[in-house]
């Protein structure tokens, strides 16, 4: 008979908490303000919306792959965090609603959607865009988004539902079902996330392409996922929740993963740049050229310094991964630079004259962020905050530092 781990914390997020309602209210205000901006500058509205939508979608998608990796490897280290990730994934099918404005803004966002570019013999005819039109066309673009979110939404909903079911039934046989969902899910995830990166960001400039952009898109989002997890754990602890369940050793693990994927991000980002630089093909290098002038280069240098160099040097120290102040500060810094990097990828398409910002960048971020985390906490408080009957929970709770 297995030994049931001792849990001394309350596992319920306070039902009376006003956090979900406050976040949803803030989000609604932000989205309303951004919607007003549509009537002032439609192009700016759609680009600002796309950047923030990509930012928060990346968090949910990173949570999804983390849950599936956890199940497929049968690991124990992250059991106490898994319900946080599962909650993000459980809301993906709802979050899909927020891609609708992007679908309405295809013409404003994506140059390839202009039909005059496909009319051979006209002044506007674009041979490159016409050659890519079987893939880059509005109808197929919309179909692909439906497929992406159908796959992600199903995986996220099912993984969360089965995990909660195991809480209630104590049926450890459900771990096999979770693995059976995750194994093909990882393969589907790899393809769909890569193509989502192509669709949302890379196709903003249909003349440019990078065979590494899919994994680059994944790397920037997955690195940013760990700061979100760290800050959420700190928030829960500040509220007096799970203080004896998620201990310092578990927070150290988050810091270690954060450090690891900081290196991974830098490797992928530099590899993409190096391959394009070495090949020196005009149709490839022009994308970087436009992003290394007109003030955009400062965002690039900022990513190099504050997304790689500083986190790498700071988190290289073992003790820094245990220091909550340092982890919190580095996490906030990386999330800010993550937004700036997505901005650096997308916005030069709109601002070809140089670096520029709009108040809609802020309101879109507040609006979508409020809704995203409001939905998270609304769902989070409906179930136990950790998978209390997971067979690996005891190993996770008894974890200690490796000396």
- Report DSSP letters for 361-380, one per residue: HHHHHHHHHHHHHHHHHHHH
pLDDT at 294 (0 to 100): 93
- Mean of pLDDT values over 3-7: 63
Q: Which residues contact 219 (CB under 8 A, 6 or more apart)?
A: 261, 264, 265, 268, 269
pTM of the complete model: 0.95
| Region of poorest pLDDT, from 3-12, 30-39, 59-68, 81-90 | 3-12
Asked whether residue 374 carries a pLDDT value surpassing 90, the answer given is: yes
Q: Indicate the average pLDDT of the chain.
A: 94
pLDDT at 1 (0 to 100): 41
The DSSP output letter for 12 is B
Instruction: State the burial class of residue 218 (Cβ atoms within 10 Å of its Cβ: 0-12, 13-18, 19+).
Output: buried
């Amino acid at each position: 008979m297995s030994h049931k781990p001792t849990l001394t914390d309350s596992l319920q997020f306070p039902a009376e908490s006003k956090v979900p309602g406050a976040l949803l209210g803030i989000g609604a205000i932000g989205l309303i303000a951004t919607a007003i901006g549509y009537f002032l500058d439609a192009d700016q509205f759609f680009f600002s919306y796309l950047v923030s939508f990509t930012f928060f979608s990346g968090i949910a998608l990173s949570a999804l792959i983390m849950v599936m990796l956890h199940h497929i490897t049968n690991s124990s280290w992250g059991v106490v965090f898994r319900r946080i990730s599962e909650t993000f994934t459980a809301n993906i099918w709802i979050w899909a609603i927020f891609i609708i404005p992007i679908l309405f803004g295809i013409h404003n966002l994506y140059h390839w959607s202009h039909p005059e570019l496909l009319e051979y013999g006209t002044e506007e005819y674009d041979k490159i865009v016409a050659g890519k039109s079987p893939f880059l066309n509005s109808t197929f673009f919309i179909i692909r988004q439906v497929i992406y979110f159908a796959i992600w939404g199903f995986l996220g909903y099912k993984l969360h539902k089965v995990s909660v079911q195991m809480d209630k039934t104590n049926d450890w046989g459900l771990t096999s079902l979770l693995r059976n969902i995750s194994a093909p899910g990882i393969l589907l995830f790899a393809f769909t996330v890569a193509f989502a990166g192509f669709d949302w960001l890379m196709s903003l400039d249909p003349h440019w392409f990078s065979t590494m952009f899919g994994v680059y898109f994944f790397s920037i989002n997955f690195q940013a996922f760990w700061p979100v997890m760290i800050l959420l754990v700190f928030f829960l602890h500040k509220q007096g929740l799970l203080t004896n369940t998620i201990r310092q050793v578990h927070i150290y693990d988050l810091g270690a993963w954060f450090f690891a994927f900081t290196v991974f991000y830098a490797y992928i980002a530099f590899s993409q740049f190096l391959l394009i630089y070495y090949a020196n093909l005009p149709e490839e290098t022009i994308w970087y050229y436009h992003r290394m002038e007109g003030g955009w280069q400062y965002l690039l240098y900022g990513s190099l310094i504050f997304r790689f160099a500083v986190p790498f040097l700071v988190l290289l120290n073992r003790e820094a991964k245990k220091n909550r102040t340092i982890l919190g500060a580095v996490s906030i810094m990386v999330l800010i630079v993550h937004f700036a990097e997505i901005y650096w990828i997308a916005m030069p398409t709109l601002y070809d004259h140089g670096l520029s910002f709009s108040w809609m960048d802020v309101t879109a971020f507040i609006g979508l962020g409020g809704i995203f985390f409001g939905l998270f906490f609304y769902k989070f408080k409906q179930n136990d905050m950790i998978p209390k009957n997971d067979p690996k929970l005891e190993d996770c709770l008894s974890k200690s530092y490796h000396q």
